Amino acid sequence: MHKRSTVIQGRREEDAVARFTTESRRRALSARRLRRGGLALALMAPAVLAYVVFVIRPIVMTVQYSFYEWNGVTPSTWVGLANYVELFHNPELSGSIVHAFELIIFFSFVPVALGLFTANAIRGFATSRLAVVSRTVLFLPQIIPLVAAGIMWSWQMSTDGLVNQVLRLLGLGRVGRAWLGDFNTALPAVGVIGAWVLFGLCMLLLLAGMTKIDPALYEAARVDGAGPFREFFAITLPSLRQEIVVCLTVTVIAALASFDLVDNATRGGPGNSTLVPGLEIYYLAFFQREVGMASALAVALMVLVLAVVVPLQLINREGKS
């Protein structure tokens, strides 16, 4: 009783003090904010400058180039939207975009699906020695340059390479072939390399997400008689929404903007069967000297990436609120 009254009294005093201080504090804050504003601008200036000169300006220039026909040397001519129209009508150009989307299946869906499956299978012993070692091992593909992955795998997938050796060992020697040299298998083969690179990152991200799920949820589910499947779809999957979105975002960008890997594994061949937008931009702009056309494709690529990533992020935000 006695205690409560002092608390109330104390609160009243606090209220009075608070009213007084909020008034003066607000004034002090706004003065400080003005002073801070100038300082903040000065602190941001170098970063903004670097960003504007080396990112924003080039983006604007790419858009500008895309309306011209230009070989990079002689004066350019305005062609309006002709380059964009060409983008849809030229099978080589539109094909490269289709290829990029086909790569998403391998770069994104395979690592995420396989990652979910594996993470779910090993979540029970995520702190064991084997799991700790696997963290390091599965991360190796992430830290090597993609160029190296391309070179390495183009060797593994050659006629006498490791892949065919393993197939022969399994009695499947007949399906063996030069995987990256075959019109039918080159693009999926590049996709497999991408999956190899991105699997570890996805798996570990998903596993980290799974360890954050309250174990009581699983125990409750088991008590209610849920099997592993019900458990996975009712508890694990919904709790991992954020991690899945992150994996998809990272891998989809890797697929759409792939360059290093494809350049070193196949150089777009055989024919144009593995030509992706990144490579096509590079070839058009710096070898065939069609700067305008290359820029139009570059704009299309940037728009495509945003068109895929922005909805993904919106899903993520919905999940949070």
Partner 1 sequence: MIVSRREEWLGRTLLVLLMLVTVLPFVSLFVTALHQPGTYPSGLSWPATPHWSNFADAFKAAHMGKLLWSSVIIVIGVVPISMLISTLAGFALGHLRPPGGRAVFIGFVLGLTLPFEGIIIPLYYQMRDFGLLNTRWAIILPLIGLYMPFAVFWMRAHFINMPEDISEAARIDGANTWQLFWRIHVPLSMPALSALAILLFLWTWNQFLLAVVLVSDPAQRTMAGALGAFQGQWGTDIPLLCAGSLLILTPTLIIFLVFQRRFVAALLQGSLKG
Binding to partner 1 (CB under 8 A): which residues in 289-308?
A: 291, 294-295, 298-299, 301-302, 305-306
Contacts of 181 (CB under 8 A, 6+ apart): 158, 269, 270
Phi-psi region of 3 (alpha: psi -120 to 50; beta: other; left: phi over 0): alpha
Site for partner 1 in 164-223 (CB under 8 A): 164-165, 196, 199-201, 203-205, 208, 215, 218-219, 222
DSSP secondary structure code for residue 76 in this structure? P
Among 57, 212, 230, 317, binds partner 1 (CB under 8 A): 57
Single out the residue of 10, 91, 124, 271 in contact with partner 1 (rule: CB under 8 A): 124
User: How many CB atoms lie under 10 A from the CB of residue 242?
Assistant: 16
Report the DSSP beta bridge partners of residue 78: 68
Residue choice 83, 96, 108, 118 for contact with partner 1 (CB under 8 A) = 118
E-assigned strand segments in the chain: 68-69, 77-78
Tokens of 106: 């391998």
How far apart CA 167 and CA 192 sit, in angstroms, is 15
**How far apart (Å, rounded) are the C-alpha atoms in residues 56 and 72?**
21
Three-state DSSP at 298 gives: helix
Separation between Cα atoms, residue 209 and residue 193, nearest integer Å: 25
Q: Applying CB under 8 A, which of residues 240, 244, 246, 248 lies at the interface with partner 1? A: 246
# residues near partner 1 by CB under 8 A: 103
Angle between helical axes of 186-211 and 241-256 (0-180°, round to 10): 160
> Would you count residue 106 as binding partner 1 (CB under 8 A)?
no
98 binds partner 1 (CB under 8 A): no
73 binds partner 1, rule: CB under 8 A:
no
Q: What character string, x for contact with partner 1 (CB under 8 A) and - otherwise, covers 27-46? A: ------x--xx-xxx-xx-x
| CB-side neighbour CA atoms (13 Å) of 20 | 6
7 or 121: whose CB is closer to partner 1? 121
Q: Which stretch binds partner 1 (CB under 8 A): 7-15, 80-88, 91-99, 134-142?
A: 134-142
Tell me the window of 11-19, 83-91, 103-111, 131-139 that interacts with partner 1 (CB under 8 A): 131-139
Element (H, E) at 309: helix 291-320
55 binds partner 1 (CB under 8 A): yes
Of the pair 82, 208, the CB lying nearest partner 1 is at 208
User: Closest CB to partner 1 among 82 and 131?
Assistant: 131
Q: Is 225 in the site for partner 1 (CB under 8 A)?
A: no
Residue 113 Cβ, how far from partner 1 at the closest point, in Å? 13
Q: Are 86 and 171 in contact (CB under 8 A)?
A: no
Q: How far is the CB of 74 from partner 1 (least distance, A)?
A: 14
CA-CA-CA-CA torsion sign (264, 265, 270, 276): negative
Residue 265 within binding range of partner 1, rule CB under 8 A? no
The nearer residue to partner 1, 186 or 261, going by C-beta atoms, is 261
Q: Which is nearer to partner 1, 135 or 272 (CB)?
A: 135
